[in-house]
Amino acid sequence: MEEVLLFDTLLVGVVVVLSIGMRYGAEQVRVSPIVGYFVLGILLRAASSLERVPLLTEQQVFPFLADLGVIVLLFRVGLESDLERLLDQLPEASWIGLGNVLGSGGIAFLTAYNLIGWSLLPSLFVATALTATSVGVTVAIWEEAGQVDTREGATLLDVAEIDDLMGILLMALLFSVAPILQGAGPEGVLSAVGTTLVGTLLRFALLGAACLLFALYLERPMTTFFDRLHAGEGTMLVMLGVGFIVAAVAGMSGLSIAVGAFFAGLIFSRDPHTAQYMDAFRPLHDLLAPFFFVGIGLHLAPEMLVGVSGSVFLLLPAAVVGKVVGAYVPARPLLGSSGALVLGLSLVPRAEIALVIMQRGLERGDWAIPPGVFAQVVLISALTVLIVPIVLRPLLSRIPLSAS
Per-residue pLDDT tens over the stretch 220-275: 899 888 888 876 778 888 999 999 999 999 999 888 899 999 999 999 988 777 77
pLDDT at residue 288 tops 90: yes
pLDDT at 61: 79
Domains and CATH numbers, the chain: 67-398 (1.20.1530.20)
pLDDT at residue 123 tops 90: yes
Report the mean per-residue pLDDT for the chain: 86
Query: What's the rounded mean pLDDT across residues 73-92?
Result: 81
Prediction pTM value = 0.89
Per-residue pLDDT tens over the stretch 347-389: 999 988 999 999 999 989 999 999 989 999 999 999 999 999 8
pLDDT at 184: 58
Residue 6: band (very low, low, confident or very high) from pLDDT cuts 50, 70, 90: confident
Per-residue pLDDT tens over the stretch 176-191: 888 888 865 555 567 7
What HEC string does the chain produce? CHHHHHHHHHHHHHHHHHHHHHHHHHHHHCCCCHHHHHHHHHHHHHHCCCCCCCCHHHCCHHHHHHHHHHHHHHHHHHHCCCHHHHHHHHHHHHHHHHHHHHHHHHHHHHHHHHHHCCCHHHHHHHHHHHHCCCHHHHHHHHHHCCCCCEHHHHHHHHHHHHHHHHHHHHHHHHHHHHHHHHHCCCCCHHHHHHHHHHHHHHHHHHHHHHHHHHHHHCHHHHHHHHHHCCCCCHHHHHHHHHHHHHHHHHHHCCCCHHHHHHHHHHHHHCCHHHHHHHHHHHHHHHHHHHHHHHHHHHCCCHHHHHCCCCCHHHHHHHHHHHHHHHHHHHHHHHHHHHHHHHHHHHCCCCCHHHHHHHHHHHHHCCCCCCHHHHHHHHHHHHHHHHHHHHHHHHHHHHCCCCEC
pLDDT at residue 58 tops 70: no
